[in-house]
């Protein structure tokens, strides 16, 4: 029996199914904001301000202590149009859907899925909790346990919504010591049979080749110190860096001696230095001075619901980079390190919305599945200038690190 001419509905639905199967990071993040963009004719640039939980200090005793209600929000922008353009002829469309999918749809959606996942994992720069050592693949389960502890310190909910996304090399290492854990026999068996870690130490482990890499700045010759006591807010004046050098790169992790973090609910000292992510590249001046913009803010106020640290930095307090002291900077300077992520589902959000269907096309079709939060548009049209037909697949959406306190970076 001769093959029938494939129609756009079949191709769009097949593309949607393939895309769902190819995405990794996408499946573990919040999708609660999709419906906020469910408007006719969505285009790049739409913004939704997502409200964050209100925080309070609380009180003890009978006397009332009314607190100001300070609502905060995070903008989520639809600013990405992921797509692939297909050069398929009418003859190609007479194939069976299986063969057409193998030749065109599968490689196309693999590209789209990789681009979506890669951009999501690039949000590591917004995450300020950190464990591990740059350039050193974890060889002990303790590193992943430490990531869980870092989330616990930030009052991150426990349970099935915690996940880890790691590189293939990190997965190979974690499998190497997985048998030493007190896991059920069937879990260990599955690890050996499938080559994947599965569930362990409070996380669902996932491998993704798109885990972002970070290259550490030029730290050699630096012995950085805080320049001026009691600094607060989102910047830190420092000195002691190598002169006129790109010492810190956007997304670097720093901490300060004797400046510990606090639990965001109990506000108790959790016993380790508060880590901050560096916002923007930092180049020292000719005398080795540099002002560093950081996130979160440095806030030691015991009256504030947004307290982040136990104390403000002292003058000449030592600065650590990726939890490494200046004496060992040579071990990490310039290191290229994967930034794997341990996180709760609500740390990151992805919004994917329905694209407008243009008129005047040979094909203009959309396949959507609200349950999984995916929408793919398929368009085919004729270019009179070149006497050719073009087919394109598009997905419209946007990523956001909504609650960075619910994630932790793992250097490898």
Which domains does the chain show, CATH number per domain?
Answer: 8-58+72-123+349-397 (no CATH), 128-213+338-346 (3.30.2320), 217-334 (2.40.30.290)
The two structure tokens encoding residue 126: 């917004």
List, for residues 57-92, the tens digit of each pLDDT value. Answer: 677 776 776 766 666 777 888 889 999 998 888 888
Q: What's the mean per-residue pLDDT of the chain?
A: 88
**Is residue 145 pLDDT above 80, yes or no?**
yes
Half-sphere exposure of 324 (CA within 13 A, CB side): 23
Q: Is the pLDDT of residue 194 over 50?
A: no
Q: How much is the pLDDT for 370?
A: 81
Report the pLDDT averaged over residues 267-286: 97
206-253: pLDDT as tens digits: 999 999 999 999 999 999 999 999 999 999 999 999 999 999 999 999
pLDDT-derived band of residue 96, with 50, 70 and 90 as boundaries?
confident
List the one residue out of 250, 214, 206, 212 whose CA is nearest residue 342.
206
CB distance 196 to 205 below 8 Å: yes
pLDDT of residue 398: 92
pLDDT score, position 195 = 41
Asked whether the predicted pLDDT for residue 131 surpasses 70, the reply is: yes
DSSP strands (E only) in 331-387? 336-344, 348-353, 363-369, 374-383
- pLDDT of 115 strictly over 50: yes
Report how far residue 221's alpha carbon sits from residue 218's, in angstroms, rounded to the nearest whole number.
Answer: 9
What pLDDT does 68 receive? 63
Model confidence at 5: pLDDT above 70: yes
Q: Which pLDDT score, from 0 to 100, does residue 151 have?
A: 97
Instruction: Give the three-class secondary structure for 178.
Output: helix
């Amino acid at each position: 029996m001769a093959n029938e001419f494939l129609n756009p509905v079949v191709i769009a639905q097949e593309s949607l199914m393939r895309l769902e199967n190819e995405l990794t990071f996408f499946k573990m993040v919040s999708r609660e904001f999709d419906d906020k963009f469910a408007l006719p004719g969505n285009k790049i640039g739409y913004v939704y301000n997502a409200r964050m939980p209100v925080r309070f200090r609380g009180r003890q005793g009978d006397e009332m202590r009314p607190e100001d209600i300070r609502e905060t929000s995070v903008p989520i922008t639809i600013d990405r149009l992921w797509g692939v353009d297909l050069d398929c002829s009418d003859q190609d469309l007479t194939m069976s859907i299986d063969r057409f999918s193998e030749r065109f749809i599968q490689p196309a959606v693999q590209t789209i899925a990789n681009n979506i996942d890669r951009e999501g994992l690039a949000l590591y720069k917004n995450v300020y909790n950190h464990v591990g050592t740059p350039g050193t693949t974890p060889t002990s389960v303790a590193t992943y346990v430490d990531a869980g502890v870092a989330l616990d310190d930030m009052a991150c909910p426990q349970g099935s919504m915690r996940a880890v996304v790691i590189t293939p090399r990190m997965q190979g290492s974690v499998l190497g010591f997985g048998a030493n854990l007190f896991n059920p026999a069937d879990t260990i068996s599955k690890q050996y049979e499938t080559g994947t870690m599965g569930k362990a130490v409070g996380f669902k482990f996932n491998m993704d080749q798109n885990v972002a890499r970070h290259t550490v700045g030029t730290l050699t010759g630096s012995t950085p110190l805080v320049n001026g006591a009691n600094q607060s807010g989102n910047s830190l004046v420092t000195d002691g860096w190598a002169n006129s050098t790109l010492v810190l790169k956007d997304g670097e992790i720093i901490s300060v001696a004797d400046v510990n973090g606090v639990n965001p609910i109990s506000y108790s000292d959790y016993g380790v230095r508060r880590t901050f992510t560096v916002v923007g590249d930092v180049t020292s001046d000719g005398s080795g001075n540099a002002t560093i913009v950081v996130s979160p803010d440095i806030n030691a106020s015991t009256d504030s619901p947004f307290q982040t640290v136990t104390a403000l930095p002292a003058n000449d307090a030592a600065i650590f980079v990726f939890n490494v002291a200046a004496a060992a900077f040579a071990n990490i300077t310039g290191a290229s390190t994967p930034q794997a992520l341990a996180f709760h589902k609500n740390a990151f959000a992805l919004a994917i919305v329905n694209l407008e269907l243009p008129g005047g096309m040979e094909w203009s079709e959309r396949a959507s599945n609200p349950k999984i939060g995916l929408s793919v548009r398929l368009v085919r049209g004729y270019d009179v200038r070149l006497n050719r037909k073009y087919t394109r697949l598009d997905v419209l959406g946007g990523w956001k690190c909504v609650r960075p306190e619910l994630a932790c970076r793992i250097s490898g």
